Amino acid sequence: MNINKATLDDIPQLEKLINSAYRGEESKKGWTTEAYLLEGKRINADGIKKIINEPDAVILKCCNDDNNLVGCVYLKKNKNKMYLGMLTVSPMLQAQGIGKKILKASEEYAVEKKCDTVEMRVISIRHELIAWYQRHGYHNTGKITPFPDDQLSIQTKPVEFITMEKSL
């Protein structure tokens, strides 16, 4: 496995991977699906391009030994905190330790960028995902934020975010 920064050339593969892991039938093959909560796309090519071009932001991509994209994560520095979002692993490869490797690389990247905390938002009723992050040292801060109206996602159940963080 190798993890490095994604470029604009990676957008088509990233879009396919991210949407397959979060939404639709393919996402149901993994344990991180949001398909029972949300319909539509998780992100589109324009959204990925915006992230890649955003100051202080990066998408780290994880490729296997054959250089196939198997996971990714969005990171954005904000003062001394690193925001972590869209941690993604291919549904067919979940529960094999890839997510742990990407999470560890994210934390190492945060330290390199002089951050002392990693912060993320998780859908509040994603109990299995919250538990996974807790096992990796993250805790619920108590902060709750509404789910955004991003015009890509359609809520099939009411959802909101909790904020989780980890001190590095």
Write the pLDDT tens digit of every residue in 79-90: 999 999 999 999
Question: In 4-151, which ranges are continuous DSSP H helix?
Answer: 11-22, 24-27, 45-53, 98-112, 127-135
- Print the domain residue range for 60: 2-167
Write the pLDDT tens digit of every residue in 12-64: 999 999 998 887 777 778 777 776 677 678 889 999 999 999 999 999 999 99
> 94: domain CATH number?
3.40.630.30
Helix (H, G, I), strand (E, B) or coil at 22: helix
Q: Please give the tally of structural domains in the chain.
A: 1
pLDDT value of residue 149: 74
pLDDT value of residue 102: 96
